[in-house]
Amino acid sequence: MVKIKTLIKDGMVVDPANNLRKTTNILINGNTVEKIHPKINPREADVVINAEDKLVVPGLIDLHVHLRDPGQTHKEDLATGTMAAAHGGFTSVACMPNTTPVLDTPERVKTLVQRLKKEAHVNVFPVAAVTKGLEGEVVTDFEGLKAAGAVAFSDDGKVVQRASIMHEALKRAEALSLPICQHAEDASLSCGTVINEGEVAEKLGVKGDPDISESVIIARDIVLAARTGGHVHVGHISTERGVTLVRRAKQMGIKVTAEVTPHHLLLTDEYVLKAGPNAKMRPPLRTQRDVEALRQALADGIIDCIATDHAPHAAEEKNVDLADAANGIVGLETALGLVLTHLVGEKVLSLEDAIAAMTYKPASILGLDKGMLAVGKDADITVIDLNKKWTVDPEAFFSKSRNTPFSGWQLTGKPVLTMVGGKVVWSDESINIEVVNSDKVS
């Protein structure tokens, strides 16, 4: 196979993993980075991408995505979900196992991996179920699942409720050096709840979810992680109490990491009054005090990374009464713009810290050799226009689903090109791509 050489020239390259921030050029040979240098002759390349006045960063990574395939393809499928990822600047995503059937056997993971090679537009890393059928009773074949391609284990929204099962799972996962990603929610406290416990729930006449439903599970899992040496990753953390527990665990040297979503960083339960079911998710939007605690924890590094929890739903699953509506929102195509506008723009995070939280930090949690720009590494690259102003329009999404609370939001900063393994999988019309050697580039 003929290797195509691509030059990304004159971009501001920001790579937090290597403390790199300078205007330079990147030469890509086939699917890997060959050279990073301010002086590279364009004649060396077959394709030249002009990134002047643009930001060039390692490809974004999202470690918490629902692709709904197999079994729920009326909401999303491998092609549409990964195209939505590319549109949002993501070059790698980790997909949750709550599909139909559940990703709970090596054979199912192998089948998915084979399909991904043909259907996915970006890198997809499967997360396998902790328990068979997500039923919380019998731990799956961790060894076989890892060999098949799983990079982590999670029962996601079902939650591992029994401490004995979680204890066994952590021991087995620790032996494989893989994390268990836990949706922290005690079902005995959250059963029948609709949104966060508080004034908004009272106003709407629905049962509220107390913040301790999250922190009780986080506290238990920290104790189990300390006992087993296993790695617990707290998914979409949403409460001040949860943050306090994670902070203390890290101070004690316990193997705990955490992610937070853009919506939990930007919205409170008050927004349910405006957006209705499109602001309904698990965990629910919390209070302003929780939002401020999450922002501070992310800035301090207590929360390790940003993840979307991209959760597509069909219109008929959202366009119903709040109590009956499905939980979750789409997030892949809005995350970067929200982070740049409201976290970097409002000086909650530096640009470098924001990029780190969306590149090498999630890669590190999953043990992926991704999230950095260096010679010999995969050419997974995102080009961003920091000055591009745009309006969130769900009808322009590549995702099959439109369930977002951010419709109509005015944002500044947007990906304009996404490259996976040296191949441009999506680009905006504003980016200049010149084919220099048409004999090699068909």
Residue 263: exposure state from Cβ atoms within 10 A (0-12, 13-18, ≥19): buried
Strands 305-306 and 256-260: parallel
Question: SS3 string of 362-418?
Answer: HHHHHCCCCCCCCCCCECCEEEEEEEEEEECCHHHCCCCCCCCCCCCCEEEEEEEEE
CA-based nearest residue to 221, from 162, 303, 290, 172: 162
- Of 137, 37, 119, 132, nearest to 78 by C-alpha is 119
CA distances from 219 to 209, 212, 329 (A): 17, 10, 27
| Residues near 4 by beta carbon (within 8 Å), at least 6 away in sequence | 30, 46, 47, 422, 440, 441
Q: Count how many Cα atoms sit within 13 Å of the Cα of residue 57 in the half-sphere of its side chain.
A: 29
Calpha distance 76→34 (Å, rounded): 36
Is 309 among the residues known to form the active site?
yes
Nearest in space to 196 (alpha carbons), one of 335, 319, 327, 343: 327
Structure tokens at 42: 């364009």
Q: Report the first-to-last Cα separation within the chain, whole angstroms.
A: 13
Task: Decide if 99 contacts 110 (C-beta within 8 A).
Answer: no
Q: Are the CB atoms for 365 and 375 separated by under 8 Å?
A: no
* CA-based radius of gyration for the chain: 21
| Sequence-ordered strand ranges (E) for 278-372 | 305-306
Residues 351/330, Cβ–Cβ less than 8 Å: no
Q: How many CB atoms lie within 10 A of CB 289?
A: 12
- Of 311, 313, 292, 314, which Cα lies nearest the Cα of 303? 292
Catalytic residue among 77, 156, 309, 385: 309
- For the stretch 295-301, contacts whose Cβ atoms lie closer than 8 Å and that sit 24 or more positions apart, written own/partner, are 295/265, 295/343, 295/348, 297/243, 297/246, 297/247, 297/258, 297/260, 298/260, 298/265, 298/343, 298/348, 298/349, 298/357, 299/348, 299/349, 299/353
User: Which residues are designated catalytic?
Assistant: 309
